[in-house]
Chains A and B, each alone.
Chain A
Amino acid sequence: MKITHDEIRHVARLARIEIPEEQFDKLAQDMESIVDMVAQLQQVDLSGLSVNLAEQSNIFREDVPTPSMPREAVLQNAPAREAGCVLVPRVMEE
Chain B
Amino acid sequence: MELYEKMGYELQELIVKKEVSAREVTDSFLSRIDAVEGKVKSFLTLLPDSARAQADEVDALVARGEQLPPLAGLPIAIKDNICTEGVLTTCASKMLYNFVPPYDATVITRMKQSHMPILGKTNLDEFAMGSSCENSAFQKTRNPYDLNRVPGGSSGGSAAAVAAAQAPFAVGSDTGGSIRQPACITGIVGLKPSYGAVSRYGLVAFGSSLDQIGPMTRCVRDNAMLFDLLAGPDEMDSTSARISRKPIAPDLKVDVKGLRIGLPKEFFGEGIDPGVRACIMEAAQQYQRMGAQLVEVELPFAQYALPTYYIVSSAEASSNLARFDGVKYGYRSEHYDGLIDLYFKSRSEGFGPEVRRRIMLGTYVLASGYYDAYYKRAQLMRVKLKQVYDEAFEHCDVMLTPASPTVAFRLGEKESDPLAMYLSDICTVSINMVELPALVLPCGTVEGLPMGMQLIGRKFSEELLYNVAYSFEQATGLGWTCPKL
Are A and B a genuine interacting pair, yes or no?
yes
Q: A11-B360, A52-B383 are in contact. Are A44 and B304 (CB under 8 A)?
A: yes
Does chain A have a CB within 8 A of B326?
Answer: yes
Select which of A11, A41, A78 is within 8 A of B378 by beta carbon.
A41
Q: Check A76–B100 contact: CB distance below 8 A.
A: yes
Q: Give the complex CA separation of A44 and B374 in angstroms.
A: 12
Chain A interface bracket (under 10, 10 to 19, 20 to 34, 35 or more)? 35 or more
Q: A38-B310, A77-B329, A80-B332 are in contact. Are A15 and B380 (CB under 8 A)?
A: no
Does chain A have a CB within 8 A of B102?
Answer: yes
Does chain B have a CB within 8 A of A83?
Answer: no
Q: Check B345–A46 contact: CB distance below 8 A.
A: no
Q: Give the complex CA separation of A92 and B356 in angstroms.
A: 29
Q: Give the complex CA separation of A61 and B233 in angstroms.
A: 12
Q: Check B419–A17 contact: CB distance below 8 A.
A: no
Give A18 Cβ to nearest chain B Cβ, in Å: 4
Q: Give the complex CA separation of A40 and B238 in angstroms.
A: 34
Interface positions of B from 276 to 327, Cβ below 8 Å from A: 301, 303-304, 306-308, 310-311, 318, 322, 325-327
Chain B interface bracket (under 10, 10 to 19, 20 to 34, 35 or more)? 35 or more
Contacting chain A: which of B171-179, B251-259, B336-344? B336-344
Q: A18-B345, A31-B360, A33-B419 are in contact. Are A51 and B235 (CB under 8 A)?
A: no
Give A82 Cβ to nearest chain B Cβ, in Å: 13
Q: Check A34–B363 contact: CB distance below 8 A.
A: no
**Which residue on chain B has the smallest CB distance to residue A75?**
B328
Give A77 Cβ to nearest chain B Cβ, in Å: 4
Q: Give the complex CA separation of A50 and B357 in angstroms.
A: 30
Residue among A51, A52, A89 with most chain B CB within 10 A: A89
Bitwise, A16-50 to B at CB < 8 A (1) or not (0) is 11110000000100110111011111101010011
Bitwise, B351-366 to A at CB < 8 A (1) or not (0) is 1000011011101110
Q: Give the complex CA separation of A30 and B351 in angstroms.
A: 17
Q: Give the complex CA separation of A17 and B362 in angstroms.
A: 13
Q: Give the complex CA separation of A50 and B278 in angstroms.
A: 39
Q: A16-B344, A46-B377, A61-B235 are in contact. List 12 more A-B contacts (CB 8 A).
A: A16-B340, A34-B418, A38-B308, A38-B365, A41-B374, A42-B373, A51-B383, A77-B328, A79-B331, A88-B339, A89-B336, A89-B338
- Chain B positions within 8 Å of A, measured between CB atoms, are 98-100, 102-103, 235, 238, 242, 301, 303-304, 306-308, 310-311, 318, 322, 325-332, 336, 338-340, 342-345, 347-348, 351, 356-357, 359-361, 363-365, 367, 373-374, 376-381, 383-384, 418-419, 422
Q: Could you name 9 residue pairs across A and B whose Cβ atoms are closer than 8 Å?
A: A15-B318, A27-B360, A34-B357, A39-B374, A40-B303, A41-B381, A44-B381, A49-B380, A77-B99
